[in-house]
Structure 1
């Protein structure tokens, strides 16, 4: 037993020696006076905790530094270090220089393709890591990248809390990628071409049980497995915008007690129903904007969202139906945006009688804490019901109508909704259906002139045809009667002389002095 244990220790020692030698062979950036090349700042707070900043942004570095600046001191206990190498040409991210400080490290827009594992072994207290806007592929992102120092029988976890891997070339995750990041609470995987979350990726996400924020926006996914949410009981913020979801994932209710913010913007969802947000008992912020095919927000959609505080439903060009009645259950609503949609009306069915229009202002508001109401960019039909609803929502104090204007009826087109009162509008007789004529057509396109032109053209054509027939008939009649004149017959002189000569009557031929023969009578 002792022999096997000793063999294991020797093997691990060899691995550590080889890995150390491998790191030593990789060059680091040779900068003798780092604070002369980069920006070094130091400050301390009232608790005598030191905060160091190292900014080497856009210095044309090809590697990171081998050690921290001497100005930061040798002992980094009770110290925060913020280091950024963004904007350099670092194709290989090497092992970070050792420190016991609480570290925030950023290397964005560096062209990183390779990660030298274990990249963060000597910085066990790294808390925030930003590797976005690089070229990291799935094969390069292995569990060993995040492993911490080795302690007797296992590798310890690093203190990583916030990880940003957005805008890379990931299409899947290793199922054990987060086994050394037990404290991870914020994960950004946006703008990676996952398309389908395969089994290893689902296992990886579900293993990060402490996650509170997850960003899967713009990853081209079409669905989400329920297995992801079963263990994410602490998830509070979920961003699914910019994907190909055609409905709300039906298993979101598994995190209904913890989820406070949900972003579904820019998804091809055509309709929200009563079952869309079922079980989301703690939801406070909902974004359903920029949806290209959204047409209907049906009845009772928001009935169960009693804790909702912010609703963003703007820039939905095909949205024509919005059930405002169900939103009254969200009595804590503070921000409400339905701007730039295709809504012509919204109604709370106030049912105020003609004699009590002035009492609308005294009614209890549906959302007493509402301070922002955006409704600009809709083709509002300003009838009695709409103006009553707007007044009931409230247009005084900090509430903003945001310069919404009427589109119809034509005599109110362009009028500010906030300038109209239900007492005035409800006394007007507005046609139920009215087709606005934007501009009077030219005279030759008007109906009566078109009809008159056709009649005149028909008469002219008919007269012309009749005259043509009459002239043709007259010509035929005259030709048949030879115009009443005997035809003249002509005979040449030569033919007459020859005729007389042929009959032997030579006395009748007389030759004149010019040698021309003339026939005598």
Structure 2
């Protein structure tokens, strides 16, 4: 940043000082170009570089591997990720894969990135099972996003990720969220959407004592057990929209003392008892629901600070 500040200050001095002749202008132009080139060279020296593109393992190539600063991108590629693929890479904080079809992918290849904080996988095929022992290798991981990829999970995959704060999973086939999925986790934001979830075991989410956002929209959940959200005192936003819920007992949300936003729209709930919601969750400031689920004669502004939004 200091290099860019020096460049900006130099440009201002040049602009203020001179404007006489054509020859002077050419001199100034040369001077500015020289300064810019020097600064750019110095800036580039400060960035680590990556030279693993086209490295071969078993006659299969990895293509389009790029590094920008502390980020690695792999896009539109096929081939293999070998155990030693990233053997010599410098300090990496973020690993991103887009639109790839791997013949083989070894999760342990990422263990060498001991500072790795974020993994993003979008439209990736050829991923092996994510197990608890695999995830233990990501000791510094804080964020993980998986979208429309063929990865599968063991029942206790995320339970020991002590640093993980953000988890977003979408369009990944999962039927049940079991009791041991998040045990011990420090998650603050959980997005598990459009993945075909039909059931959440009663103690699955209750261990997420730090969670502030839970988004379960676009699944196939038909029923919530009374214990599903018990004890989540830091939960502020809850998205249950676009599921198959036929009923919700809002009295079971009474322990959600920080909840301010609730979306239960696009379900099969015949009537939402807004007064029950208002009495059960006094911290709530906004509820989103279907117009057809509104009680007869409902006045949207009848409950103090609770805003009722009908869609």
Using structure 1 for the length normalisation, give the TM-score: 0.45
Could you tell me which residue of structure 2 aligns to residue 310 of structure 1?
213
Q: Verify the 8 A CA contact 2:260 2:283 in the aligned structure 1.
A: no
Gaps of 5+ in 1: 1-42, 52-68, 82-98, 104-122, 132-136, 147-158, 351-363, 422-521
Q: Verify the 8 A CA contact 2:117 2:140 in the aligned structure 1.
A: yes
Could you tell me which residue of structure 2 aligns to residue 230 of structure 1?
136
Q: Verify the 8 A CA contact 2:200 2:228 in the aligned structure 1.
A: no
Secondary structure at 1:194's aligned position in 2? strand
Could you tell me which residue of structure 2 aligns to residue 284 of structure 1?
188
Quick one: distance in 1 between partners of 2:63 and 2:262? 45
1:79-138 Cα shifts (integer Å, max 9, x gaps) = xx5xxxxxxxxxxxxxxxxx231x4xxxxxxxxxxxxxxxxxxx5624899x9xxxxx96
Gaps of 5+ in 2: 10-31, 54-58, 304-311
Q: Give the Å deviation of 1:286.
A: 0.9
Could you tell me which residue of structure 2 aligns to residue 405 of structure 1?
291
Quick one: distance in 2 between partners of 1:227 and 1:142? 29
Change (3 A) 1:217 1:254: farther
Superposition map of 1:141-290 within 5 A: 141=63, 160-166=69-75, 168-194=76-102, 197=105, 201-220=106-125, 221=127, 223-226=129-132, 228-245=134-151, 247=153, 250-255=156-161, 257-280=162-185, 282-290=186-194
Secondary structure at 2:95's aligned position in 1? strand
Q: Verify the 8 A CA contact 2:62 2:79 in the aligned structure 1.
A: no
Greater strand content: 2
Q: Verify the 8 A CA contact 1:376 1:401 in the aligned structure 2.
A: no
1:231-250 Cα shifts (integer Å, max 9, x gaps) = 32100111123233555552
Change (3 A) 1:178 1:346: same
Q: Give the Å deviation of 1:298.
A: 2.6
Q: Verify the 8 A CA contact 1:205 1:228 in the aligned structure 2.
A: no
Secondary structure at 1:179's aligned position in 2? coil
Q: Verify the 8 A CA contact 1:272 1:297 in the aligned structure 2.
A: yes
Change (3 A) 1:189 1:383: closer
Q: Give the Å deviation of 1:332.
A: 0.9
Q: Which has the higher contact order (CA 8 A, sep 6+)?
A: 2
Q: 1:343 aligns with which of 225, 240, 245?
A: 245
Q: Give the Å deviation of 1:209.
A: 1.3
Quick one: distance in 2 between partners of 1:349 and 1:367? 10
Quick one: distance in 1 between partners of 2:48 and 2:237? 37
Could you tell me which residue of structure 2 aligns to residue 393 of structure 1?
281
Could you tell me which residue of structure 2 aligns to residue 381 of structure 1?
270
Superposition map of 1:488-499 within 5 A: none
1:225-268 Cα shifts (integer Å, max 9, x gaps) = 4554333210011112323355555232342x111111222122
Change (3 A) 1:271 1:229: closer
Q: Verify the 8 A CA contact 2:143 2:165 in the aligned structure 1.
A: yes
Secondary structure at 1:73's aligned position in 2? helix
Change (3 A) 1:189 1:332: same
Secondary structure at 2:214's aligned position in 1? strand
Change (3 A) 1:296 1:227: closer
